Structure formats: C-alpha cells, structure tokens
Chain A
Amino acid sequence: MLKRQFLAAAGAAALSAVLAGPSFAQAQKLRIGVEGNYPPFSMIAPDGKLGGFDIDIANTICAQMKAECSFVQQEFDGMIPALNAKKFDLIVASMTITDARKKQVDFSDPYYDVPSRFVAKAGAFPDHSPASLKGKTIVVLRNSPRAAYLAENYKESTVVLAGKETEVYMELAVGRADIGFGSSVVSGEAFLKKPEGKGYAQLGPAIRIGAGSGVGIAVRKDDEALRTKINAALAALKGNGEYKKLADKYFDFDVSGS
C-alpha cells in the first residue's frame, strides 16, 4: 500500500516536471504552408528541396522573428482550409489578398505585388478583349482570383481550371488551351524563358485584380499576435535592405508593391 502511494507520488512529480517544461524561453515553433508549384516564387527542385522567393522570404521573416520554422507543402486550393484546421500556422504561398479570402483568414501587409497577364502564341490574338476570346479556351489556376475574374468577365469563353499554376502553362504549351491567364512573373520567368515557351508571348496590359491589394501572408483569424509580429518583421526587413537584397536575387524590377 505504502509502496503504491510512493509510486503514484513519484509519477505525479515526473509528470508535472514534463508539463512545466524547461524554464528558459524557447523559440516559437511555426509551421508554414507553402505550395511548391509557382516558380519562381515557390518551387520544388528535382532533389525535392523547396525553394523560391516565398520560401526565402518566409525563412528571413522567421529569422527576424526568432522563430523556428518548418514547411508543409499543400495544394493551393486546400491552403485556407488547412490553415484553419491548424495543419500549419501561416500561409506563405503567393496568396493574393482578396475580400473573399479576408472573410476566412487575416492577411499581413503585402510582401509583394505583381499583376496578372494573358499568355498565348505570339500573334494568335489581336487583343485580350472578351470579344476576341469568344469561344476560345482559357486556362487558369483553379479557385484563384484570376479564375473568378474570368468567370465574371469572359462568360463566352471556355475556362479550363488547372490545379497548379505550372499546369496552366503545361496545358497551354501542349495546346489544350488557346490562351492562358496567370501571374505575369510566373509566365515571364518560368514559362517564356524556357524551351516550352518558345513562340509564346504575353498579351495585353498587366491586369491588377482587386486593385493593388498585393500578396500577403495569411494567418488564422484569432492569431492577431502572429500577424502583428509578421508585419513588424516585414517592415524591419524592408527598412534594413534585406528585402531588396532577397528580391534582387529573383527579379530585375521592383516587386515590393510599395
């Protein structure tokens, strides 16, 4: 009897020690949802390593916040549900800030802003007006603001919804669509500069959907503390030139959107 009581007391002591944890302050552990199919912002190298502007900026922000970060790769259209289901704590996936998304998550200040543009075989269309694209097939990323934009403005065209931004250009290159609508930087950097993009060109002016709202880091609605910390880190990086150094690695023009 006495022995059992002793064991129980020892067990309880051990348990409370575990629960209390080490007494020194630990770095905050954060899981970041990334996409991996949005070059040059987010991409997976043949050896499986994640890279790109999203990944670099996420790492830099983490270092600035003194947080310990790990990446979770997730298909784009499952991003927001996964964030809200706490599969990760923030989304750094080139996510455009839109009113619809703001109903589900909160966004940091924009960390970059690039417009959208049409891409097609050079000379295939005189312009990108709905009349010129009537009856044609347009390929676009599923569940993106661009897809919503096409559904709204190009009702007489067939819209094919690709699961990934990279697939938009794959479908376009093999001829499953007549014209693609994507990020001007993705099409410019990851498609037109590659052999598959030979003979293709961007068409029409740069289109800004949601009027200059830019691309932000998404956090859960109840996570105001993290959002504040991210904004502070982002402002610090823009102030000390780290942001510019990082952006210059990828782009020969200003993407900061400010």
Chain B
Amino acid sequence: MIDWALIAESLPAYWKGLQVSLILMAICVSASFLLSVPLAIARVSPNPWLAKPVFLYTYVIRGTPLLVQLYMIYFGLAQFEWLRESAAWPLFRNAWFCAWLAFALNSTAYTTEILAGALRQTPNGELEAARSLGLSTASIYRRILLPSAIRRALPQYGNELVMVMHATSIASAVTIVELTRTARDVYYNSLAPLEAFGMVAVFYFVITFTLVGIVKLLEGRFLKHLRPKSADIRPTEMTPA
C-alpha cells in the first residue's frame, strides 16, 4: 500500500527541505529573542513614550496574519521605486531576507508579549528586596527581573518556538523550497498524498518533539525551585478502610 520506494527516492529532497526549514527557524528565533528582551522591558516601562509604541507594534503584528505580513514585505515593498533604487534593495531582492524579516518581526511581537507578561508577574517581594540592597535599576533588571522572568516564560516560549517552526512552511509562498514545499513537489510529481504529506508530517513531528524535549529539559533545570519536593507529593499508603 505505502510506496516505500518513493519515500526512499525523495528522502534527499526532504533532507534539503529540512535543512532550509531549520536554518530559517534558527535565524528567526535568535533574532526575535535578542529583539524581544529590550522590547519587553520597554513594554512594561511606566514611561508611555516607551511602552505605547511597543504596544502598538505587537498589537498590529499580532492582529494580522503572518502570510499577509510576508506578502507585504516580499511583494508589497518591492512595488516602491525608491526602495528598488536604494542601498537596501539587494537585501529586499532576496527571498530569504524577506522571509527572515517577516518571521522575525512576527515572532518578536509574540515573544515580547510573553516576556512582558512574565516581567509583570515578578513577585513584589523580590523587587523590594533588591531595592533594599541598594541595587541600581539596571542591575535589578540584569540580576533579578530578567533571569526570573525568562525562567517563568519558558513553557510559553516553548510553544512559540513550535509555532515558528510550523510557520516556516509559509516561506514557500516566496519561492523558498522548505519542507512543505518539498512535500508539495513530491505530491505533484508522484500523486501519492499519503507518502508525500505523511513523510513531511513525520519530519515536523520529530522536530517539534525535539524542541519540546529541549524546553522540558531547560524547565527541569531552571524551574527546579517551583517543583514540589518529591517527599511531599508521594501519596501516602492507602489503608483499606
């Protein structure tokens, strides 16, 4: 029933698609993490000149579909003569740059909100203790707020990583041949949907569970203090009544 020969034959193509998807995800996630830390700090700032623009950015980005954002950057911006004549054109000419920009901007908005939420949840006591020790605002952020917020944000951030991974499939709309595009090409050429899409599902499944596994390991390491002590949760022996 299942055409194993077709699967074996298309494996090299899937392997290439997998590499493209993973590279795309890695460059987007690293950019969005680096950007979202300062943006999250601005987002929770009491200064409206800092907080409002970031709010507007995350509001707009989270309120529009990623595919539309990608089309706007790839096809939309290319319509402007001044951009095509500017020094930035070699970048925008490149499909990879456009995909990276769209995905990074999108993921930054979500990650910023996740981090900002975690920052807001910081227990007051930690902050008061830090202030009473005479720490400066910068070192309070660096030593107290950010480390604990990032730890708290880990489970949600893991979800965001999985979302970005799945979102890379949209890159095929701008000529990038990633995993999903590979599956569609295999399907087109073989007319075997079960093999073509089943195969790509297995790839995504493995990546997703690897990601989830890594986040779980990190949670075990960094959120150890939140876990109930094993002695406390061991159920007491039930004695028959």
Closest residue on chain A to residue B80 by CB atoms: A174
Chain B positions 57-99 with a Cβ under 8 Å from a chain A Cβ: 75, 78-79, 84, 89, 93, 95
Chain B positions 106-144 with a Cβ under 8 Å from a chain A Cβ: none
Chain B positions 153-189 with a Cβ under 8 Å from a chain A Cβ: 173, 175, 177, 184-185, 187-189
Interface flag for B193 (CB, 8 Å): yes
Q: Are B93 and A175 in contact (CB under 8 A)?
A: yes
Q: Are A143 and B188 in contact (CB under 8 A)?
A: yes
Question: Which of these, B75, B175, B177, B188, contacts A81 with CB under 8 Å?
Answer: B188
> Which residues of B lie under 8 Å from residue A207 when comparing CB positions?
none
Closest residue on chain A to residue B173 by CB atoms: A163
A105 to chain B, nearest CB (A): 10
Interface flag for B27 (CB, 8 Å): no
Chain A positions 70-97 with a Cβ under 8 Å from a chain B Cβ: 77-78, 80-81, 84-85
Interface flag for A44 (CB, 8 Å): no
Q: Are B84 and A175 in contact (CB under 8 A)?
A: yes
Q: Are B93 and A176 in contact (CB under 8 A)?
A: yes
A85 to chain B, nearest CB (A): 8
Chain B interface category by residue count: 10 to 19
Chain A positions 174-192 with a Cβ under 8 Å from a chain B Cβ: 174-176
* Complex Cα gap A78–B197 (Å): 13
Interface flag for B214 (CB, 8 Å): no
Q: Are A161 and B175 in contact (CB under 8 A)?
A: yes
What 13 additional pairs, Cβ within 8 angstroms, besides A77-B188, A85-B193, A143-B185?
A77-B185, A81-B191, A142-B185, A143-B188, A160-B175, A161-B175, A162-B175, A163-B175, A174-B78, A174-B79, A174-B84, A174-B93, A176-B93
Report the 7 A-B pairs with minimum CB-CB distance, sorted nearest first.
Answer: A174-B78, A77-B188, A143-B188, A176-B93, A160-B175, A81-B191, A104-B191
